Structure 1
Amino acid sequence: MSSPHDFDFFHGEWTVRHRRRTDFLDPESSWEEFPGTNHCRPLFDGAANIDEIDMPHLGCKGLTLRLFDQESRQWSLNWSSSRSGKVFPPVVGRFAGDRGEFHGDDTHDGKDVRVRYVWSGVSPAAARWEQAFSVDGGEIWLTNWVMEFTRPEASGTSAG
């Protein structure tokens, strides 16, 4: 069952290897890869956190505010980009073991999309995040962004 401490592994500094499709809705589009960094800090004694990801290759930063709903026992993940300054519609879900799955609805390039985030392989030293879109209500998913998180050599797992 999901808990307010599901994202404790993510607190602190990370290096990030991004891999994303050049067109999020085209399964034939090419992939681009680039580095980034991330810093996450806990809030509400672990039942919330906020992180900022720096993506110099894209010329922007992003942030995610994660909130644990004590009643539903689910997380909402709320993303914003420095490019727009707006909060995108949240994805909501939970962890089962070391895998978390979160879903929501949004639009991309004027098309309604179902959004899925998957966190997997989580540990104090590494984690994987994937984003996928579906234009048919969740029947077929197209993974369009993958982030591999690892700890910087000198960082350890301390939150800062």
Structure 2
Amino acid sequence: MSENDFNFLHGRWRVANRKIADIVGRGTEWVEFETQAEARPLLGGAAIIDSVFADDWEGMTLRQYDPSDDVWRIWWASTRAPGHLDPPLEGRFDDGHGVFLGDDVVGGHAVKVRFDWTVGAEPVWQQQFSYDGGETWETNWVMTFSRT
């Protein structure tokens, strides 16, 4: 693991999204939509920032590598929650698979949040929530990236 773990994400992407329509209400209806994304390195490669553009919202992710703890931390913000920066998730990569965990509050309920990254020609990111302290996980968002 190193500050180069997210190098695969640098550049411009077309992103196919598959998401639970009502994550807050723990709905079961999935929606599909496309976004555009662009990621670039910062701080000599020890950080990466990306922007995600949808028709009706914009988001950004900051990822920063901490060599003393040997972990990445990931923060998310979007126009859907102006002025709010989500609590960081923390994790690392092992053989092209990254797992990042954190705690948040969604719809007034404490949840554990998990991001899974699978590296490849078309990287895949998945978001999962656990409402039982990490015993079980519910996938609620999947993004598949294709280069533009």
TM over 0.5: yes
- Structure 1: runs of 5 or more not aligned: 153-160
**2-side partners of 1:26 and 1:109: how far apart?**
7
Matched-pair contact (CA < 8 Å) for 1:114–1:134? yes
Name the counterpart of 2:44: 45
Residues 2-51 of structure 1 deviation map (CA, whole Å, 9 limit, x = unaligned):
21000001000000000001232667611000001000010112110100
Q: Which runs of 4+ in 1 moved over 2 A?
A: 23-28
Matched-pair contact (CA < 8 Å) for 1:25–1:142? no
Matched-pair contact (CA < 8 Å) for 1:19–1:34? yes
TM-score by length of 2: 0.95
Name the counterpart of 2:123: 127
User: Is 1:75 aligned to residue 44 of structure 2?
Assistant: no
Residue 83 of structure 1, CA deviation: 2.1
Residues 66-124 of structure 1 deviation map (CA, whole Å, 9 limit, x = unaligned):
0000101100000001122311001000000110000000011110000000001x13x
What fraction of aligned residue pairs are identical, expressed as a percent? 43
Name the counterpart of 1:65: 62
User: Is 1:15 aligned to residue 43 of structure 2?
Assistant: no
Across the aligned residues of Structure 1 and Structure 2, the Cα RMSD in angstroms comes to: 1.3
CA gap 1:28/1:83 in 2 versus in 1, 3 angstroms: closer
Matched-pair contact (CA < 8 Å) for 2:25–2:107? no
TM-score by length of 1: 0.88
More relative contact order, 1 or 2 (CA 8 Å, 6+ apart)? 1
Matched-pair contact (CA < 8 Å) for 2:111–2:130? yes
From 128, 133, 137, the counterpart of 1:137: 133
- Structure 2: runs of 5 or more not aligned: none
SS in 2 for 1:16: strand
Size of the aligned set, in residue pairs, is 147
SS in 2 for 1:39: strand
User: Is 1:35 aligned to residue 34 of structure 2?
Assistant: yes
Matched-pair contact (CA < 8 Å) for 1:25–1:133? no
Matched-pair contact (CA < 8 Å) for 1:24–1:133? no
